[in-house]
Structure 1
């Protein structure tokens, strides 16, 4: 029998990087999580191995675009909140194949919203008043900044990649479902995340894995693109804070207060590896850095102004970039089996029996 003394959350995309970290922490904190994930290439059940057999974690292999499935999960588990992490998120992949991004991020979000609206309308009294739909989005919907300024929640949308455009469209749908139907929604826009369980196609885990393998470390263009780096545990705490205390219908920006150029990030990874696992030939890992042709439409700078989240809800990042990056490098060094199974594809060939 379900324990109704603990909150129940339906989390979509909970086998991915941010979603997986969020689910692990939520279950650890006593939340019952129904975890719906399509297990595309970035979904990894290895990330959730520590939850195997835990009755507070119900994994369901499925798509947010499958409305009968979503409706069944809502009716069966009666969640107090739905948190939508499910998204195609890699810019390079969106350039090569934008259709999948529109299907998941736009059409999938619409189907999810329709099912959630129907469920929410069926609730009574306190359950209806307390219910929330939280949509996790990105700072990339705002486009690019010049050398100064930061994105605020009122910054105009100006997406420059198919990925960013698909997330912008999903944001607009979430907003519309609140203003048209009254659905109690919250939206967060985060800066670049990093930390454990990050799929090694993104900059930091890519640099770590390629450096250790003795391969070149490709850096786009001149490497001077600026990003605001946010440790994933800080992001998870921000989402929990917004869910608990955020004003319905509002958007909250989440940033790490850590603006760095891409080349600085790669060099910092190399320096940490030099100290922790030096190369046998005595050279530094930075000697493996190579500048490569820039990707099309590469935004020059993103930066987040998280004043609203800090002043209204009391959140601020707990990790400096230096500490977060050191913890991340240490995690990858200690979890080479997880990395190996991602790189050789074996994580996709095996299912761990955690599903419903």
Structure 2
């Protein structure tokens, strides 16, 4: 798939555009010369952070997804186009914070999605694709009574695909699953060309330092111990550049009304992930062998932690040719380098001080 020829001059509307994944998507779209429209919260501090340097190359719409009027006003800019792509990435996306801020999580992730979908209908927009970003957290843990519905690798690991049962175990995951279903409802009811994507554990430059990769790196850069929570869960870690590429392949080559899941295609325990990050950082001279210390206060509440996530992305590969390109060690090296050289972007946001 030639992304440049598909995207040049095409209108693209992105919610969550100044966030972690959204900002990398904007970078890629500008590279491919798309007509980029970004929706940012009118109350955001400084308005733009990650994509401020692109301000003259994008169209900025200010508002709040929870405010239907501001969503309508922003989407009016797409009237008259038939090839527009909409990427809905905005969300309260931190599992831990969803327990601390449950009402905001539900309001943003569910009502915000509903407002966006309904505005497309109300304005009668003729769009090419609407991509709602879901999460691997929607799968949760395998219930004993659902084992027969799951697929397994030869070594016994659960392989998650579009056919796998869902079992959200946090307010965040439940709100994202609701957003997924709303997106499909609007395909069924109104024929909107919607798709939903579940990315597996993205990491990379610009990510909130409260996520596992960032919290390991920022602590290692600043002190001799790295305090972490539960290290037994396994995650399928996908570098952000591959995640962005997945979104673009789904939007351009995926079929309306379908779900697509993707990730690195291999999983790793959080103990081994932490060890690997510290190894790579030591190899490149960023720190000198910090010690990992477990802190029970950093564990998720009750039984809400997900034990294991591993994706099978065959559907996306077969339909569009997408596959991950960046190895774990290379992705980790790039991520450490960003945190080491951009302390002003994360220093006041960590949760370990």
Assess same fold via TM > 0.5. Answer: yes
Alpha-carbon contact 1:12-1:85 (below 8 Å) kept: yes
CA distance in 1, matches of 2:347, 2:29: 27
The equivalent of 2:74 in structure 1 is 73
Query: Which residues of 2 match residues 56-205 of structure 1 at below 5 A?
Result: 57-78=58-79, 80-119=84-123, 121=124, 123=125, 128=126, 131-145=128-142, 148-205=157-214
Residues 34, 68 of structure 1: CA spacing in aligned structure 2 closer, same or farther, 3 A cutoff?
A: same
CA distance in 1, matches of 2:46, 2:27: 14
CA distance in 2, matches of 1:58, 1:81: 15
Deviation at 1:44, TM superposition (A): 7.5
SS state of the match for residue 188, structure 1? strand
CA distance in 1, matches of 2:45, 2:207: 9
Deviation at 1:342, TM superposition (A): 4.7
The equivalent of 1:36 in structure 2 is 39
SS state of the match for residue 258, structure 1? coil
CA deviations on 1:34-72 (whole Å, 9 max, x unpaired) are 111227889972211321322xx1223321122222212
- Give the unaligned 5+ runs of structure 2: 1-6, 144-155
CA distance in 2, matches of 1:94, 1:341: 20
CA distance in 1, matches of 2:333, 2:49: 22
Query: Which residues of 2 match residues 159-308 of structure 1 at below 5 A?
Result: 159-214=168-223, 216-221=225-230, 223-277=231-285, 279=287, 284-285=289-290, 287-293=291-297, 294-296=299-301, 297-308=304-315
TM-score for the superposition, normalised by structure 1: 0.85
CA distance in 2, matches of 1:241, 1:20: 17
SS state of the match for residue 228, structure 2? strand
* Matching of residue 51 in structure 1 with residue 54 in structure 2: yes
CA distance in 2, matches of 1:156, 1:5: 38
Alignment root-mean-square deviation, CA: 2.3
* Matching of residue 6 in structure 1 with residue 6 in structure 2: no
Deviation at 1:84, TM superposition (A): 0.3
Between the two proteins, the alignment pairs up a number of residues equal to 327
CA distance in 2, matches of 1:158, 1:143: 5
The equivalent of 2:4 in structure 1 is none
CA distance in 1, matches of 2:345, 2:99: 28
CA distance in 2, matches of 1:340, 1:322: 24
SS state of the match for residue 46, structure 1? coil
CA deviations on 1:6-41 (whole Å, 9 max, x unpaired) are 111110011111111111211121111111122788
- Give the unaligned 5+ runs of structure 1: 345-356
Deviation at 1:302, TM superposition (A): 1.1
Paired residue for 1:337, among 319, 344, 347? 344
Deviation at 1:145, TM superposition (A): 4.4
Deviation at 1:340, TM superposition (A): 3.3
Query: Which residues of 2 match residues 305-316 of structure 1 at below 5 A?
Result: 305-316=312-323
